[in-house]
C-alpha cells in the first residue's frame, strides 16, 4: 500500500498533476457533451428540412 501512496503523491507534485488531470477530464467531458448536443440539433434540422422537401428517407 505504501507504493501506491507514494505513486499517488507523484513525488510531491500531486496537487499539480491531479488538478491537470481533472481539468483535462472536465474539458474532454464538456467537449463530448457539446458535440452530442450539436449532433442532436443538426439531426433535428436535417429531419425538418427533409420533411419540408418531401424526402423522408
Q: For 3-56, what is each residue's pLDDT tens digit?
A: 888 888 888 898 999 999 999 999 999 999 999 999 999 999 999 999 998 866
Q: List pLDDT tens digits, range 26-36.
A: 999 999 999 99
Query: What pLDDT, on a 0 to 100 scale, did the predictor assign at position 57?
Result: 58
Q: Is residue 20 part of a domain?
A: no
10 in Cβ contact with 17 (< 8 Å): yes
User: Domain span at residue 34?
Assistant: 27-57
Q: Is residue 55 part of a domain?
A: yes
Q: Is residue 4 part of a domain?
A: no
Neighbours of 17 (CB within 10 A): 14
Q: Is residue 45 part of a domain?
A: yes
Q: Is residue 49 part of a domain?
A: yes
The set of cell numbers assigned to 33 is 457533451
Q: Is residue 40 part of a domain?
A: yes
Domain count for the chain:
1
In this prediction the pTM is 0.68
Query: What pLDDT, on a 0 to 100 scale, did the predictor assign at position 45?
Result: 95
Q: Is residue 9 part of a domain?
A: no
Amino acid at each position: 500500500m505504501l507504493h501506491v501512496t507514494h505513486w499517488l503523491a507523484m513525488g510531491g507534485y500531486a496537487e499539480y498533476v491531479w488538478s491537470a488531470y481533472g481539468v483535462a477530464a472536465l474539458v474532454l467531458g464538456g467537449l463530448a457533451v457539446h458535440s452530442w448536443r450539436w449532433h442532436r440539433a443538426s439531426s433535428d434540422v436535417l429531419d425538418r428540412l427533409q420533411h419540408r422537401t418531401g424526402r423522408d428517407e
